[in-house]
Structure 1
Amino acid sequence: FQKNSLVHVEFTSTNFSNVSLKNLKGLYNLKYLRFENCEGILLDQCEVLKFTSFKLIELPLKCNNWIVDVTSLMIKYLGASLQRLSVDNPTIPLIENVLMFCSKLICLKIRINNHFDLSVLPFFKNLRIRILNINFTLNNLNNFNEFFKNLVNNIPINISNISIYINSRNSTRSIIRFYEYIRFREFKAFLENSHNDFKIINLNYIIELEFKNFWYVGIRQRV
């Protein structure tokens, strides 16, 4: 077992039911740890992570099937050295743990769907990060409208680089309306109402147009 040389570990589509995480403790030089489409990790299984000796730099957590408290606990135990973190649908306790335990965090990537709780956004004001990436998946225009209005009022001035990726899958008429609305109203309002210290703003639309029996990935734009 390459415990002294291993720096990068990824778990994909792994079931951790009744599986101990204790072997992670001995990976002294681990810098990157990724869980994607995994399941079965319980809160008590995370307790061993408080005794790890490595200083993790990046922790992507994507599309995992476990309670959100598991993600929060991982952040608590592994966050001290983190510089990059990726999470899905952050909750208030999760963001509070980021604020409390991730003092070195530079980049936060979040994936959001229609079930996101907008009451989380005011907690973004206290983030000390410099880079914020948001991947937003939605099925109707109103959800994104409310999210965008709340987001622009809660971005701290220390964030100098923001990227927003919008994924939508609807009928042709809805897509056209969606694209025009975002381009000419919401993004304009974002620029007018956000702080003036942004160095990089990326707006990336990934829009799928439906024509008969196939989907066409249509519009992609960066600003």
Structure 2
Amino acid sequence: MLDIRDLTAAYGPVTALDGVSFTAPEGKITAVLGANGAGKTSLLRTISGLLRPTKGTAYLADQDLSRVPVERMSRLGLAHVPEGRGVITELTVEENLRLGRLGRADRAKPTDLERIYTLFPKLADRRHKTAHVLSGGERQMLVIGRALLATPKVLLLDEPSLGLAPRIVAQIFDLLKSLVESDGLTIVLVEQNARSALSIADYGAVLNLGKLVVHDDAAVLAADDTLRHAYLGF
């Protein structure tokens, strides 16, 4: 579904990605792991067009994403949830959710919204409340729900567990796994919590200083003591 080929990107003179290549298979979770500064966030930003590559590209099915304007990514089936749980606090929960359909030709239908409320019952309880009243975990649910309203084929998630209680992290990771199983969604998950990410992922890609160290089955990476100690911190 997502084919990354020799992807290279930089911030001015600083190389953020250096010839990264791997495939995120359709209907699977691929965890992108590594220490701070490894290039994980830069990888997602480059795939979604927020950072333009200096070399290489990413393909969504047969579409070369390096030639696609950022505002068209949603219509191609790509949704990106950046780190930071960015919501518009002055808008209600439901108004924030409806923003997820703005990049598409159609608009959110009541059935679309009700599905999000079924996935995230806490959002249903607060649908008419402004987003500033939400907890950190609820805001993370809101930005994921907003991305799902765009009906993506591929969901890019950057550090969804950051700053959340373990119980909330477990709920979100369980939901991601269920979306893959029920909807065939393809997920690329950037995570600092490598142990938790590998527990739900099918595949893993480990980055170090902008370079790909290894891409393999998640179970293989989790069982490699040398790799875990050197790059994954557990």
TM-score (norm 1): 0.31
TM-score (norm 2): 0.30
| Higher Rg | 1
Bigger fraction of residues in helix: 2
